[in-house]
């Protein structure tokens, strides 16, 4: 499986030549950006095609034969290192599933957890991770009802991988999707960008300075319920994880066939994150978050929803960052700090592999 090259007959001689770029998986296919989207559209959509999958939201919503709408989501977690300021792979696995469910308006109820362990993993590490999952599950009010464990030989995995699945119910009347944004809507962001990505990077020792950054990792379901109390007609919710805010907004602009205009100066970025990004040449708009959400709401409800967000600890830095416009459909435009307007593209390639 590991061959970079394949043998081809070339003028009679068999020589190893590099495969074309497209012919094998590279790290960029896991970036959450353009290459991930390309992989999904070319390899996963054609065989599995069905309306719930093609909708392309953070969770699939299916109509239950018993009545009601069920939300289902899956996420594998391969973050390295396993522990970092503000969180660890266990908390990440729980928050990731919980947040994907509430991004379609569902109330998370049950999780399942599948572990792939590498031979040689200390028990003590696994125990720290499961205790952390328990705490995060309590925090989110969900229960872990089923599990599975596989073990690979040394060198065939990397410590711990965790897959979590989330199952929840979408209360009647809620219709939340990346496809629902309309011109005139207001774009809200629940807080500062980039904390998770930079915290993980710092824990890898890849920064040449010491950054006091903690991951923002948090289960967002309680805040989301408060937002629905303020406005039952929330149109879009999405958490800007892999690919960052830039990629998330582009996904929404494409799904809804609208333009999105944002104002750079309105977007909160903590000082230490900004400093780290400047040194590394990163744009915080592309750095992963694990406890933030974008909400798109009708203009007349935006103040109420913003207030609800700000009244919750996970949304205290919430703010309006822009608006939905008709044109250019499928594009995100940003008014920069210096007053110009630039197109904000989807992430291409991979900036920070194994961030979640």
Please list every residue from 148 through 187 that binds a copy of itself, using CB under 8 A. Answer: 148-161, 163, 165, 167, 169
Q: Is 207 in the site for a copy of itself (CB under 8 A)?
A: no
Task: For the CB of residue 160, give the shortest distance to a copy of itself in the complex, in Å.
Answer: 8
Range in contact with a copy of itself (rule: CB under 8 A) among 41-49, 214-222, 308-316, 325-333: 41-49
Q: CA 136 to CA 222: how far, in whole Å?
A: 13
Q: Which backbone phi and psi does 32 adopt, to 5 degrees?
A: 85, -5
Q: Between residues 101 and 188, which has the closer beta carbon with respect to a copy of itself?
A: 101
Cα distances (Å, whole numbers) of residue 95 to 7, 139, 165, 334: 45, 9, 11, 30
For residue 225, which phi and psi values (nearest 5 degrees)? Answer: -60, -40
Q: Which of 8, 143, 279, 337 binds a copy of itself (CB under 8 A)?
A: 143
Among 7, 8, 18, 50, binds a copy of itself (CB under 8 A): 50
Residue 310 sits in the site that holds a copy of itself (CB under 8 A): no
Residue 41 is a binding residue for a copy of itself (CB under 8 A) = no
- Per CB under 8 A, contacts with a copy of itself among 322-351 are none
Give the nearer residue to a copy of itself in terms of CB position, either 7 or 278: 7
Would you tell me how many other CB atoms lie within 10 Å of the CB of residue 351? 24
- The reply on whether position 206 binds a copy of itself by CB under 8 A is no
Cβ-based nearer residue to a copy of itself, 27 or 183: 27
The residues facing 169 across adjacent strands are 70, 107
In 3D, which of 173, 347, 344, 182 has the Cα closest to residue 263?
Answer: 344
Q: Is 74 in the site for a copy of itself (CB under 8 A)?
A: yes
Scan for tokens 């001689």, then name that residue: 13
Q: Does 114 bind a copy of itself (CB under 8 A)?
A: yes
How far apart (Å, rounded) are the C-alpha atoms in residues 238 and 58?
Answer: 7
**N-to-C CA span, the chain:** 24
DSSP state of 12: T
Give yes or no for a contact between 224 and 188, defined as CB atoms under 8 angstroms apart: no
Q: Do residues 88 and 290 make contact, with C-beta atoms less than 8 angstroms apart?
A: no
Binding status of residue 209 toward a copy of itself by CB under 8 A? no
Total residues contacting a copy of itself (rule CB under 8 A)? 90
Give the nearer residue to a copy of itself in terms of CB position, either 38 or 85.
38
Among 16, 131, 204, 265, binds a copy of itself (CB under 8 A): 131
Beta carbons of 41 and 354 less than 8 angstroms apart: no
110 is a site residue for a copy of itself (CB under 8 A): yes
Q: Single out the segment in contact with a copy of itself by CB under 8 A; choices: 104-112, 173-181, 281-289, 341-349.
A: 104-112
212 lies in the site for a copy of itself, by CB under 8 A: no
CB 216 within 8 Å of CB 191: yes
CB of 1 to a copy of itself, least distance (A): 4
Cβ proximity to a copy of itself: between 72 and 325 the closer is 72
236-238 and 186-189 beta bridge pairing: unpaired
Which segment (143-151, 202-210, 284-292, 336-344) binds a copy of itself by CB under 8 A?
A: 143-151
**Which residue's CB is nearer to a copy of itself, number 218 or number 355?**
355
Binding to a copy of itself, residues 53-72 (CB under 8 A): 53, 59-60, 62, 64-68, 70, 72
Concatenated DSSP letters for 248-295? Answer: HHHHHHHHHT-EEEEEGGGS---HHHHHHHHHHT--GGGS--SS--EE
CA angle (321, 324, 329) in 5-degree steps? 130
Q: Which stretch binds a copy of itself (CB under 8 A): 34-42, 173-181, 253-261, 268-276?
A: 34-42
Q: Is 4 in the site for a copy of itself (CB under 8 A)?
A: yes
Pairing state of beta strands 107-118 and 13-18? unpaired
Q: Which of 10, 11, 13, 47 binds a copy of itself (CB under 8 A)?
A: 47
């Amino acid at each position: 499986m590991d061959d970079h090259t394949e043998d081809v007959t070339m003028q009679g001689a068999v020589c190893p030549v590099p495969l074309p770029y497209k012919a094998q998986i590279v790290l960029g296919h896991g970036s959450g950006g353009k290459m991930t989207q390309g992989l999904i559209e070319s390899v996963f959509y054609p065989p599995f095609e069905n309306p719930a999958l093609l909708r392309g939201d953070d969770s699939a919503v299916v109509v239950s034969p018993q009545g009601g709408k069920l939300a289902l989501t899956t996420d594998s977690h391969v973050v390295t290192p396993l522990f970092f300021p503000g969180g660890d792979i266990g908390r990440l696995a729980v928050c990731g599933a919980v947040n994907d469910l509430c991004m379609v308006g569902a109330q998370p109820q049950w999780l399942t957890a599948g572990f792939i362990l590498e031979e040689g993993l200390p028990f003590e590490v696994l125990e720290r991770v499961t205790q952390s999952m328990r705490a995060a599950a309590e925090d989110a009010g969900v229960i872990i009802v089923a599990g599975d464990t596989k073990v690979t030989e040394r060198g065939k995995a990397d410590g711990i991988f965790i897959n979590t699945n989330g199952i929840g119910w979408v209360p009647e009347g809620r219709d939340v999707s990346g496809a629902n944004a309309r011109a005139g809507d207001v774009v809200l962001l629940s807080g500062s960008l980039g904390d998770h990505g930079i915290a993980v990077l710092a824990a890898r020792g890849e920064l040449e300075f010491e950054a006091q950054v903690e991951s923002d990792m948090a289960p967002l379901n309680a805040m989301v319920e408060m937002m629905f109390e303020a406005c039952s007609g929330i149109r879009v919710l999405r958490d800007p994880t892999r690919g960052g805010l830039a990629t998330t907004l582009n996904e929404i602009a494409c799904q809804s066939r609208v333009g999105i205009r944002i104002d750079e100066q309105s977007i909160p970025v903590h000082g230490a994150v900004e400093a780290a990004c400047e040194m590394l040449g990163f744009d915080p708009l592309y750095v992963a978050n694990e406890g933030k959400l974008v909400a798109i709401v009708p203009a007349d409800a935006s103040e109420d929803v913003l207030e609800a967000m700000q009244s919750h600890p996970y949304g205290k830095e919430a703010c309006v960052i822009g608006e939905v416009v008709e044109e250019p459909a499928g594009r995100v435009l940003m008014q920069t700090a210096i007053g110009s307007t630039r197109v904000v593209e989807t992430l291409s390639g991979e900036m920070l592999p194994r961030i979640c």
